[in-house]
Structure 1
Amino acid sequence: MFNSSSSAVCPLLQTMLDHSVNNNTGVNLVVVCVHGLVSCLGILENALVLWVLGFRLRRRTVASVWVLNLALSDFLATLTLPLFTHYLHSSHSWELGGPLCTAQSSVFFLNMFVSAFLLAAISLDRCLLVARPVWSQNHRSISAAWKVCALGWLWAAANTFPYFLFRAVTEKTDGRKLCYHHFGLYSSPGTLERDCRVRQAATAVSKTFLAFLLPLVVIAGSYALFGISLSQRRKRRKDSSSRLTGALTVTNVERRESKPNTNTKSSTPNPKVSTPTSTSIKLSSRRTEPGLSRGFTKMVTSVIATFALCWAPYHVFCLIEVAAQYWPNKVVLVEVGLPMATTFAFLNPVLNPVLYAFSCPNFCIRIRQSLGSLMEGLVEEGGMGGAGGGGLGLSIRKGRRKGRGSMGGNSSSSPSCLGTPDSPHLPPSTTTSKPVVDTWSKERTL
């Protein structure tokens, strides 16, 4: 698009062009091959997730909308990885031209902003399900989730525009080409140094705050409120269970005392009456929270942790790059560390599909059955029937269901990939124990 001879160059960029740390023009085939394999793996992983969530689900939930948009962002990011593989193969020289340089950079920053926005939105969503269940049931829907995702994409595109505008290919003194920020564009010679410093600092600070610190603050606050609401709800449920148990005990005692002149057997408490009641109370107190899936919460937590670990080094080196404008001795640190931190950040979209899969406790069994059943358990929701447009889970196509049944017995014996919240009315054991007992008694009589 542009080169260093057509416009003025910022002092920091000029230093990188004149004194390159990486003077090795050879090609490390091992690094190129490994990077190429990782690139292909990331593209295939995210393509499979998109295929399952986009085409294999008959019934969507709010959770599936979140994961679908996150996977779409990761898929776009992994599509640019082969371009970086070509850069490594070309002895660290960008030979693909200005348009692809701009496109690769824009997709990279778009993925960064979209991922941060969606993870913050998911955390708020899970928090509101517990802290404001009535509000969530009335306002939480698939259409609302799509609107939030559209807002996130627009917000990310607006923040990506400066990087699209100031990205260019410049030529080094040794003849190699560098795809990097060119903040000297659209600047006059008299204001060059000031414009470079302002633009460099503004972009570095804004992306660190908007795409890293602010989302992490929102996520941390959501998880704190989430934990407080859960503890309060469990405390209220425990108190109500204790009061109910005490009331039942008093009722049984009064009933026994109101029957005089009875034999010893009738005066003895009947364990068949009291035991199921107390058992059902204990089971109901341990029930999963409505609208929550433990597997989905586990997946979100792992994705957030991976996001923070992969992107933290990149943002640190971006701030060091701003400081290098005032302390030139830090330019070497930026030249060495920033490319490595960028590569580490690209691991995030590659690792996310792996986290989706391994959030399933029965991963090895589910992977033999189908990818559809794997994602079914991941994005299902329970307890909030009207909220999310499918609170009872996801329905996969009938053909896949038949295939799953033929491979592993009936579906009830094989637990959901990440667990399904129990029914809001009855404990799971009460719905299956009676038919088993009745059938056995009939066979014994015959």
Structure 2
Amino acid sequence: MALDYVDYEDYRGSNETENITDDREAPDFSSSQSSLIYFLVAVDIITSAVGLVGNLLVIWICGWKMNKTVLTTWYTSLAVSNLFFCVFLPLDIFYIMTSHWPFGQVLCKLSSSALFLNMHSSVFLLVLISADRCILILFPVWAHNHRTVKKANGVVALVWLLAALLTLPSLIFKETKVHGPIIQCHTEYGSRSRHKAVALIRLVFGFLIPCLMIVCCCVVLGVKLRSLTIRSKKPYKIMVALILSFFFCWIPYHTFILLELDFNKHSLNVLESGLKVGVALAASNSFISPILYVFIGSDFNQTLKRSLTSRFEDAMAEDLRTAGYNQSKEGKTLICFI
């Protein structure tokens, strides 16, 4: 995986210990890992191509072909995050193929930071989507009166600011390094403790806490939806699918990051291969979202017959209708149009 070659020393701390050597001075496709490298390059190419086209399509449809709503604001921002990552992926593909970084230090920092910015912004946006759906269910009248696109844009801006702050370590510590004719894009943490601190902050604030919040929201939604008659559950299916895809794509990465922090107890070859696969799988999450928007909830033949715009409108429908909802013991019925 290209990003693994850009960031791997960032994770394993090769500048902080003598037990790990630098293996990037020349590409070695004759080694036992050559097949894995070619496979991961192929995955990168698919991720980049499908991710660029798919996320551009999401942005185009949500921004120009659909009415602007709070939910389309969340999904547009998610697509922008994925698109930003996919834009830099071809540079990483070149790096993994040549082990040489000719693009300069600025692009080294930006390319290395794209994955982490995508990780943080994506999971924070998933928290917003989950919390937003909980508010729609629990406080429908309040949501109808106070839930606006303008406020959603403000919250998205805060999310991007927080994601950028958590991505700063990659921007700060990533540098280019010259080895003869080869230029590397690698990390200078300065100490092993600093490396561990950065990795743990990413894990706790970029994965564990947001995931706990998402799980809580999903539990509340699951309980409440059982007592409601919903006109369409497709928006909820989309939300759950996005959350599950994020979890499955990122759990291997974080697992190997934890193992890597105590690398002396594990095989370096296993850690290298595991991190390559983990980052490749994490990167693939960037092109899954557009596919889910189009295909989830209906069979393939129906999808082909209907326009893409209609599919997105169904997937991101804002209206939640409940009928015959007993609000109190006195038999009060609440019909909600949100």
Place the TM-score, normalised by the shorter chain, in its bin. 0.7 to 0.9
1:85 is aligned to 93
Instruction: Please tell me whether residue 119 in structure 1 is matched to residue 126 in structure 2.
Output: yes
The one-letter code sitting in structure 2 at the alignment partner of 1:180 is H
Residue 23 of structure 1 deviates from its aligned partner by: 6.6
2:284 to 337, 347, 350: 347
CA contact (8 A) 1:318 1:338 kept: yes
CA contact (8 A) 1:299 1:355 kept: yes
Residue 294 of structure 1 deviates from its aligned partner by: 0.8
2:4 is aligned to none
TM-score w.r.t. length of structure 1: 0.63
Q: 1:97 to 1:336 in 2, by over 3 A?
A: farther
The one-letter code sitting in structure 1 at the alignment partner of 2:308 is L
Gaps (5+ residues) in structure 2? 1-8, 322-333
Mapping of residues 233-382 of structure 1, within 5 Å? 233-234=227-228, 287-288=229-230, 293-324=232-263, 327=264, 330-361=267-298, 363-382=300-319
CA contact (8 A) 1:171 1:178 kept: yes
Instruction: Please tell me whether residue 183 in structure 1 is matched to residue 189 in structure 2.
Output: yes
Gaps (5+ residues) in structure 1? 185-195, 235-286, 385-422, 426-446
1:202 is aligned to 197
The one-letter code sitting in structure 2 at the alignment partner of 1:210 is F
Q: 1:320 to 1:50 in 2, by over 3 A?
A: same
1:220 to 215, 219, 222: 215
**Partner Cα distance (2:273, 2:183) in 1:** 17
Q: 1:95 to 1:320 in 2, by over 3 A?
A: farther
1:75 is aligned to 83
Residue 217 of structure 1 deviates from its aligned partner by: 0.4
The one-letter code sitting in structure 1 at the alignment partner of 2:49 is C
The one-letter code sitting in structure 1 at the alignment partner of 2:80 is L
Bigger share in strand: 2
**Partner Cα distance (2:181, 2:38) in 1:** 24
Per-residue CA shift, 1:76-97, capped at 9, x if unaligned? 111122112212321x443433
1:44 is aligned to 53
Which of these two proteins has the greater Rg computed from alpha carbons? 1
Aligned to 2:103, what secondary structure does the other structure show? coil
Q: 1:162 to 1:33 in 2, by over 3 A?
A: closer
Count of matched residue positions in the alignment of Structure 1 and Structure 2: 308
Aligned to 2:186, what secondary structure does the other structure show? strand
Residue 158 of structure 1 deviates from its aligned partner by: 0.8
**Partner Cα distance (1:294, 1:21) in 2:** 53
Aligned to 1:80, what secondary structure does the other structure show? helix
- Of the structure 1 ranges 46-55 and 222-231, higher mean CA displacement relative to structure 2 is found in 222-231
Residue 180 of structure 1 deviates from its aligned partner by: 3.0
Residue 356 of structure 1 deviates from its aligned partner by: 1.2
